[in-house]
Structure 1
Amino acid sequence: MESRNGIDRQLKRASCYSEVERKPLSPSVIVIGGGFAGIAAARALHDASFQVVLLESRDRLGGRVYTDYSFGFPVDMGASWLHGVCKENPLAPLIGRLGLPLYRTSGDNSVLYDHDLESYALFDTDGHQVPQELVTKVGQAFESILQETEKVRQENSEDMSILQAISIVLERRPDLRQEGLAHKVLQWYLCRMEGWFAADADTISLKCWDQEELLSGGHGLMVRGYLPVINTLAKGLDIRLSHRVTKIVRRYNGVKITVENGKTFTADAAVVAVPLGVLKSNSIKFEPRLPEWKEAAIADLGVGTENKIALHFDKVFWPNVEFLGVVSPTSYGCSYFLNLHKATGHPVLVYMPAGRLAHDIGKMSDEAAANFAFLQLKRILPDACEPIQHLVSHWGSDVNSLGSYSYDSVGKPHNLYERLRIPVDNLFFAGEATSMSYPGTVHGAFSTGLMAAEDCRMRVLERYGELDLFHPVMGDDSTSVSVPLLISRM
């Protein structure tokens, strides 16, 4: 007869086995990254009764969306616009229900996407304002030049940069060339275009530069910042801040995630919603390695940098326009300031360098960068008074972002965004760089978070044998769609 100890050992083994094999009370998911994509995915899966843990490397939520209150009022130092104020924008219903006002900065057909031509006050480096008629005329010429690049695209099977295509257009169309001050204004428009992509024109793909889907309704600046939206989405979630993920192990029956301090987390699946720059840095080790096509998508997608230097003054001394600009013979020498006073009533100008200029300024200390921005302002407004406070972003050098947002680089296909989004086993990917339709935008990040959550939900429940196609993560909310309030332009 078996001893009592032997029976106890058998019972113990049986108990351990059942603990391993028995399904948990509900499926579990780890979301990596607390930006808009990660929060959207975590919110959706939590609402679908999944056990969700969100791991964020920073000591705050939002990722490349960051509302700073150091001035005593909100200033978005990362993303700050809703591009497309319409019911088709997946973020519009939430912003509308929260009652958050937006300040309209353009209509649907702005060549530079987020501001209309009449909203600029441009100056040369001697402080002389460029006549508004010339600003508008050159802006229309720039739009014609971009339209002409379509012919260059159709004629060439090989890709080239948008800058090279513009050069070809100007060779063919002498009537579109600009001389003297007009040439400097044209370079300023090119500088603004580079700001849209956070990259220099000689690196932006001619084939793909205009493939993003632009929603209707114009573009609205978030007057009170994006933080209220983030806080609403994050309410009630299990969020672990200062948890930098270093390793992701995927197995047939789940994932094991290791963070910097050695602590591990396990779940049925994971949503990887970290910035493209972080993926490029290989600071997260995947085990086994990601497939070659996934690694190639990460390597080949472009990631650019646009920074913000916010200058807070004790009074307003600048024109009542939305953008102040400095024109120059080269786009690198041009610069621009967003006038927050016009939108929010606060005496703040935000200097916004992009591409190589952002990279060069990023090497400076905050004090030096603020001084550089102020010197640019003094060039056009010699009587400018000293700022009383400043804020400086470092998206390109911040190890949590290593860039601002993605763009199509020369010679690479536009479908890299979709390849980056495609799941690998029980790993699901989200973020603005996984959105083919809306790359580089907050609503693009948000929508990919929802898509990753739904893909994850279906895959995990399929394995559990509990898949219900009639109960998606996000229900049909079309009956309660509300569009945010747009403040009239003054």
Structure 2
Amino acid sequence: MKPKESVCNGLVDGTFVSLLERQQLSSPSVIVIGGGISGIAAARSLFNASFKVLLLESRDRLGGRIHTDYSFGCPVDMGASWLHGVCNENSLAPLIRCLGLPLYRTSGDNSVLYDHDLESFVLFDVDGHQIPQQLVIEVGEIFKKILKETEKVRDEHSEDMSILQAISIVLDRHPHLRQEGLAHEVMQWYICRMEAWFAADADMISLKTWDQENVPSGGHGLMKQGYYPVIKALAKDIDICLNHRVKKIADCHSKVLVTVEDGRNFVADAAVITVPLGVLKANLIEFEPRLPQWKVDAISELGVGIENKIALCFDTVFWPNVELLGVVASTSYACGYFLNLHKATGHPVLVYMAAGRFAYDMEKLSDEATVNFAMLQLKKMLPEATEPECNRLKKRLSP
């Protein structure tokens, strides 16, 4: 996709002044920098409001952390894959419904597993023995009680602490809630799932804010056909340039001058910047004038969690017909789980999920070693597991 001559044309020949003169005779123009869901949604809104819009994206694809992979012959979301809050309050829900995209419901609003219900999963110990469902449910109820008690800890302390530290305080106060043996390992799996929801370890999750997230009502739905159709619909008719890495954004003569990596310049009346937080943290874009200090400080202090996926496609289905298959362990770090896409979509695909420090550590492995590790975890649960026909890895959902 290349920019049209009439929209924020690049300065290959001619001068900046002549381009300004041409644009003064045209409609207001905006350059959107970054082709993730935020950038595409912004571009769509501006386009619908009759602005001239050019979107610059550094990758060779749109979507950012939304990335639907079709290499298995079926859609597999290696980035975002759920709609959290299936209701009109969620601005994506009406669009998804309008596009006729089906959702697979994985949980209601109050699931202890956050985006899955207790009814559709099986857990195994490290020796491959299935854990009784009743034990899993009982430990889940105890986990809810522990989290409820952390609210009292929060009220008693003016300074923040991690949710893990608060859980430790609760268990010291209420020893009867402490679990031993297999029940302790199941409890660690629940903590592992909590860490996956926040894409951070429990000792990094804020006690004061962990339950303050305003998730719209309506439960959680998995995108059966992937998120790419949403990206495609939002991008329709918008002037988009892929493989255009922005290096500088300058305020010039009441206009915005954007310089890309190969030295070309683009000019518009305004710019909307939706690049990933990691790009801003790494100072990969020069701003002229410099960003105000309060904004630099905010960028520095913000963090982003990490969750990685390993998708494995098999010739035949040999696993139980449940949404999640998990392995418990003595620490949350050693626990793990697979998302069963076959139940949701009918395709023989399992997706191993890794979050927090575990995800960071996994990134140090080669692709081959990463797949081997995932298969080792799968064979702990299902010794008869066959080798995958093919696999795909997504290391880091954001740079």
TMscore range, shorter length: over 0.9
Aligned partner of 1:94 in structure 2 is 95
Deviation for aligned residue 1:119: 1.8
**Is the partner of 2:304 in helix, strand or coil?**
strand
Deviation for aligned residue 1:66: 0.4
After superposition, what is the alpha-carbon deviation per residue over 1:386-440, rounded to whole angstroms, capped at 9, x for unaligned?
11110000116xxxx32xxxxxxxxxxxxxxxxxxxxxxxxxxxxxxxxxxxxxx
Aligned partner of 1:462 in structure 2 is none
Map 1:339-488 to 2 at 5 A: 339-395=340-396, 401-402=398-399
CA distance 1:21–1:245, change in 2 (3 Å): closer
Q: Gapped runs of 5+ residues in structure 2?
A: 1-16
Aligned partner of 2:191 in structure 1 is 190
Contact preservation (8 Å) 1:310, 1:348: yes
Map 1:102-121 to 2 at 5 A: 102-121=103-122
CA distance 1:18–1:89, change in 2 (3 Å): closer
CA distance 1:115–1:252, change in 2 (3 Å): farther
The residue type equivalent to 1:95 in the other structure is I
CA distance 1:138–1:23, change in 2 (3 Å): same
- For 1:262 and 1:290, the matched residues in 2 are separated by 22
Map 1:114-129 to 2 at 5 A: 114-129=115-130
Aligned partner of 1:314 in structure 2 is 315
- For 2:101 and 2:18, the matched residues in 1 are separated by 52
After superposition, what is the alpha-carbon deviation per residue over 1:365-403, rounded to whole angstroms, capped at 9, x for unaligned?
22211111011101111111111110000116xxxx32x
After superposition, what is the alpha-carbon deviation per residue over 1:82-116, rounded to whole angstroms, capped at 9, x for unaligned?
00111111011110011100000001111232001
Q: Does 1:297 align with 2:277?
A: no
Aligned partner of 1:175 in structure 2 is 176
**Is the partner of 1:332 in helix, strand or coil?**
helix
Aligned partner of 1:256 in structure 2 is 257
C-alpha RMSD of matched pairs (Å): 1.5
CA distance 1:252–1:172, change in 2 (3 Å): farther
After superposition, what is the alpha-carbon deviation per residue over 1:255-300, rounded to whole angstroms, capped at 9, x for unaligned?
1111111111111111111111222121112222211211121111
Aligned partner of 1:330 in structure 2 is 331
Contact preservation (8 Å) 1:118, 1:136: no
- For 1:350 and 1:35, the matched residues in 2 are separated by 23
**Is the partner of 1:352 in helix, strand or coil?**
strand
Normalised to the residue count of structure 1, the TM-score between the two structures is: 0.76
After superposition, what is the alpha-carbon deviation per residue over 1:164-213, rounded to whole angstroms, capped at 9, x for unaligned?
11111111111211111011111111111111111111111111112211
Deviation for aligned residue 1:350: 0.3
The residue type equivalent to 1:268 in the other structure is D
Q: Does 1:71 align with 2:68?
A: no
Normalised to the residue count of structure 2, the TM-score between the two structures is: 0.93
Which structure has the larger Rg over C-alpha atoms? 1
**Is the partner of 2:207 in helix, strand or coil?**
coil
The residue type equivalent to 2:40 in the other structure is I
Contact preservation (8 Å) 1:57, 1:244: yes
After superposition, what is the alpha-carbon deviation per residue over 1:30-74, rounded to whole angstroms, capped at 9, x for unaligned?
101101100000011011111111000100000100000000010
**Is the partner of 2:315 in helix, strand or coil?**
coil
- For 1:84 and 1:27, the matched residues in 2 are separated by 35
Equivalent pairs, count: 383
- For 1:259 and 1:19, the matched residues in 2 are separated by 18
Deviation for aligned residue 1:252: 5.9
Aligned partner of 1:285 in structure 2 is 286
Map 1:153-232 to 2 at 5 A: 153-232=154-233
After superposition, what is the alpha-carbon deviation per residue over 1:316-366, rounded to whole angstroms, capped at 9, x for unaligned?
111111000010111110001000010001111100000111111112222
**Is the partner of 2:119 in helix, strand or coil?**
helix
Contact preservation (8 Å) 1:81, 1:221: yes
Deviation for aligned residue 1:21: 9.5
